[in-house]
């Protein structure tokens, strides 16, 4: 047997075979492998939760989907039926209490109308306020006013709802809505009876807009801070006024971020429940004919009808509410996917300064 001799330093003698280098997998320590597994599981949890939630909602809503058919999207009457009798009605093989009807068209319209009006209010106020705060106010005042922005974001929605129904909506009904109703001669949607306590579509949308402002404003503020200082100073050095610099440098740089922030606000407005339930008028079976009409949204309807649905001996009431929840989940997912698609398309275009945020 050949013996491989080594020199005094422990180095193999000339001509000795070099031992094979360990593979990358063997070089990984146990801690690295554990970290990789934990990170992989953590990354998969959000997608798994969304898929699990969607599957549970679909299974729960399936009897109502079969029972309702297309009436769910076209019907304007939502009623649990006669819950305290044993009379039932069968449709498409599914059983429900007699007189039951689960049309959701009015809730769909109420959800989109309140959220869109809220965004139309919140976006210019949020973006304009942040630009004023970051570009024109001294730094000391910026920090002081930012505290109130963060506090506004932390107020519970039920507080907004109570404030809206007790103070805001009655004030608007007495002093503002009568003046707006005169526009009804030009815009039909402004023509209609005003509820004395101010409940209705416009009040709910305005309160939602106030609730959405902190989300959009906080995100926009962080975006503005990421605009390169050299780009701002260069624009001012070229002779631009601060307004021109904001219009041609800052806003184009963060426009994709503003769109993303608006989507976050829209998601909050779509799913808001308690505040809308308190101030919207909770009109289950009527379509809005003006901005002053009482309405209800998908989320508010689920909260208000859940107690009665639990007493439905056929279980169809819970299945119908699950169908409403599934619809709201689908709307939220479509909104997020569409927003990401638009952001990617905007990212491919040229921006005045860099690629933007």
Q: Give me the sign of the Cα torsion angle 64, 65, 67, 72.
A: positive
CB 291 within 8 A of CB 120: no
Residue 16: predicted pLDDT: 54
Residue 28: predicted pLDDT: 60
pLDDT > 90: what percent of the chain? Answer: 41
Query: Rounded to whole angstroms, how far apart are CA atoms 32 and 23?
Result: 15
Sketch the domain layout of the chain as residue ranges. Answer: 105-297
Tokens of 46: 């959000």
| Number of Cα atoms under 13 Å in the Cβ half of residue 1 | 3
Q: What are the residue ranges in the chain where pLDDT is below 50?
A: 1-6, 8, 349-357
Residue 3: predicted pLDDT: 47
Report pLDDT digits (tens) over 2-35. Answer: 444 445 455 555 555 555 555 555 556 777 888 8
Q: Which residues pair with 89 in a beta bridge?
A: 96
Q: Which residues pair with 90 in a beta bridge?
A: 95
Q: What is the dihedral of CA 108, 275, 133, 222, to 10 degrees?
A: -70
CATH topology of domain 105-297: MetI-like fold (1.10.3720)
DSSP assignment of 100-119 equals -EE--HHHHHHHHHHHHHHH
Residue 352: predicted pLDDT: 40
Q: Which residues pair with 97 in a beta bridge?
A: 88
Residue 356: predicted pLDDT: 38
Residue 107: predicted pLDDT: 93
Q: Rounded to the nearest 10 degrees, what angle do helices 139-153 and 105-135 cross at?
A: 160
Query: Rounded to whole angstroms, how far apart are CA atoms 271 and 267?
Result: 6
Residue 25: predicted pLDDT: 53
For 54, residues 6+ apart whose C-beta sits below 8 A from its C-beta are: 326, 329
For 99, residues 6+ apart whose C-beta sits below 8 A from its C-beta are: 79, 81, 82, 89
Residue 142: predicted pLDDT: 77
Q: Report phi then psi at 154, rounded to 5.
A: -90, 0
Residue 1: predicted pLDDT: 44
């Amino acid at each position: 047997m050949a013996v491989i001799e080594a020199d005094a330093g422990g180095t193999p003698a000339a001509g000795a075979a070099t031992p094979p280098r360990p593979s990358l997998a063997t070089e990984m320590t146990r801690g690295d492998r554990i970290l990789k597994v934990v990170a992989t599981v953590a990354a998969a949890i959000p997608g798994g939760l969304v898929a699990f939630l969607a599957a549970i909602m679909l299974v729960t809503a399936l009897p109502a989907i079969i029972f309702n058919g297309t009436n769910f999207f076209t019907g304007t009457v939502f009623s649990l039926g006669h819950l305290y009798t044993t009379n039932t009605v069968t449709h498409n093989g599914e059983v429900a209490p007699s007189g039951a009807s689960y049309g959701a068209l009015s809730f769909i319209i109420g959800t989109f109308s309140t959220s869109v009006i809220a965004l139309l209010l919140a976006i210019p106020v949020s973006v304009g306020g942040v630009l004023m705060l970051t570009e024109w106010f001294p730094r000391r005042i910026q920090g002081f006013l930012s505290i109130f922005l963060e506090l506004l974001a932390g107020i519970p929605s039920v507080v907004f709802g109570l404030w809206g129904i007790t103070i805001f909506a009655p004030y608007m009904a007495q002093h503002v809505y009568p003046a707006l109703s005169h526009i009804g001669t030009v815009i039909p949607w402004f023509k209609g009876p005003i509820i004395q306590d101010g409940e209705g579509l416009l009040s709910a949308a305005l309160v939602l807009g106030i609730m959405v402002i902190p989300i959009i404003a906080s995100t926009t503020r962080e975006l503005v801070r990421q605009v390169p200082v050299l780009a701002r100073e260069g624009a001012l050095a070229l002779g631009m006024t601060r307004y021109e610099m904001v219009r041609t440098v800052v806003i184009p740089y963060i426009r994709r971020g503003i769109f993303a922030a608006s989507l976050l606000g829209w998601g909050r407005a779509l799913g808001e429940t308690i505040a809308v339930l308190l101030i919207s008028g909770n009109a289950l079976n009527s379509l809005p004919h003006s901005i002053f009409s009482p309405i209800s949204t998908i989320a508010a309807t689920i909260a208000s009808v859940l107690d009665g649905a639990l007493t439905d001996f056929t279980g169809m009431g819970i299945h119908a509410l699950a169908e409403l929840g599934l619809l709201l989940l689908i709307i939220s997912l479509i909104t997020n996917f569409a927003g990401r698609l638009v952001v990617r398309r905007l990212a491919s275009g040229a921006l005045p300064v860099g690629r933007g945020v």
